[in-house]
Structure 1
Amino acid sequence: MRESELWIEEPTDPLDPWGKIRRSVNIDLIKNLARGPIAGDDDLESAMSLARLVRGAYTSFGTDGTANVEREESWIILRALRIMLERRGLTFDPPWRDYDSFKSHWVSVGASGSGGWQARRDIIGRHFDPIIEALEKAEDVQIRSDLVEPVSPHAKTGWTRVDTEIAGLRQRFRTATAMQDYRDCGNRSVAVLEALSATVFDPAKHWAAGEKPPPVDKTDLRVGAYIAERMGGKENEELRGLVKKASALAHKVKHSPRADRVNAGIAADAVILLANMLRRLAE
């Protein structure tokens, strides 16, 4: 979540719509972030947002003595940040725990007095800049490891159900952090395949008359029949093989007790590429 979502804005006088706005930190939300990743949230983005909030709060307190975060909340936000960073394997252990101990620290290192504001900013920088830089690098890696984009100039297939499932898969992969999340990516990859199966397969065109067509979850049979009708002959064997492999990958991740980002990403990439291949066949 963005940094703005970590704040609460309320009118100082509810009866005066033109009155002043009081801004306070959403301490309950920050406590929830410390307890563990929130479903549907990008935990990395939230860690970056909290790091910037905490840095700003302590910078304001150390330089001009003001902050939107109350003294009794200053230790909560710092502790929450430390816990979130630990989840990402980052060590953050400044020599203070709240506003009061921060002030004691800067006094002990000779950063007090009217001319000490820059020294206090330097103290903040030494402790916060490395973790913010590490989070930025992690964001760069996450962006580069996001799911594949098709070579087609079209952003979507144009098949509503398929595009909806792909969008859901992308969102789930982007926010996944734990094994259960990656298994759900496998489940959503299967949903993309079933959406393709429901979209491209037409029993009247792709199945023998008088025979019961396979159910929608038999994606390799239904999509394979569609490919055979579009291409014909042995020339379609490789593409039909891709359908079977993509389905096998998706189901493997869906049921794996060791699902991780690499395997979930490969399965997701496979079904997204398959969707765009089939859309190209339709053209």
Structure 2
Amino acid sequence: MRADELWIDNPLEGYRILNREKIEGILTGSLVGIPDVDAAVALARLVHDEFETFGTGGNPYADDRMDDEDSARALLALRQVLRRLGIEFNPPFRDFRTFRQFWIRDGASNSYQARRDILSRLFDDIHESLVQLELSTIESTLSSPISPRGTTGWPRVDEELAELRRHFSQARTEQDFRNVGNDCVIVLECLSATVYNPSRHLQEGGVEPPVSNTKQRLDRYVEVELEGAANAELRKLARATIEFAQAVKHRGTGSRRDAGIAADSVIQLVNIMRRILPDLV
């Protein structure tokens, strides 16, 4: 389950509204067909994003955003589902209004980054715990990293990888396996958004490529982070993996073999990109 599934599209009006019925279902544990851990992953991401939007100048009362009452109910639902999963979560606020009061008391009145940091301290461990819990419930035949860490430490990437593994483990039909290809695209775009830093990776005079242009962004990341003759073979391996992941992600034959190849290549690419950083070598 993804955070986007907690919204209801209204194409005639051109905006989304919060799916309050699903929020209530998560709160009461009555959401049919959705395990608590899957619901918690999606809701934690939704709440984190919405409180960050509110805290950094976004309009929480726009048509496709929560209002104050929604924020209170969503936060309550998150606390309740986490309690059922045995995860402690006690935020020092209960809705948008009290979040504003908290950041004022905390000295974050003049800094959007300080407010992001407040939320990161509250939510990052929650995201990590949920991904680990989700992975522990998935019996998957997809590749796993050799690192003792079970996740990359990039919350959005880890969430999408867990979703990819879950969908592959549950896939039975041709349509199911084609949808695994869609998950691969989402993982690559999330990886592209995570590792590419315009201030470091954008060439002088260039235009930042969109997140969906994953090959260009990831290739530039490799070029910058693995520079020098000593890293030539590593660059070759990383670029070959990028090329392969791009080639197989749209193989739409609907077979378990092709879906598995696509998923394994994307997982391998994520772990190569993560291992490039010195703190996980």
Task: Sort the TM-score into its range (normalised by shorter chain).
Answer: 0.3 to 0.5
Q: Which structure has the larger Rg over C-alpha atoms? A: 1
Bigger RCO (CA 8 Å, 6+ sep): 1
TM-score normalized by the length of structure 1: 0.47
- State TM-score, norm by structure 2: 0.47
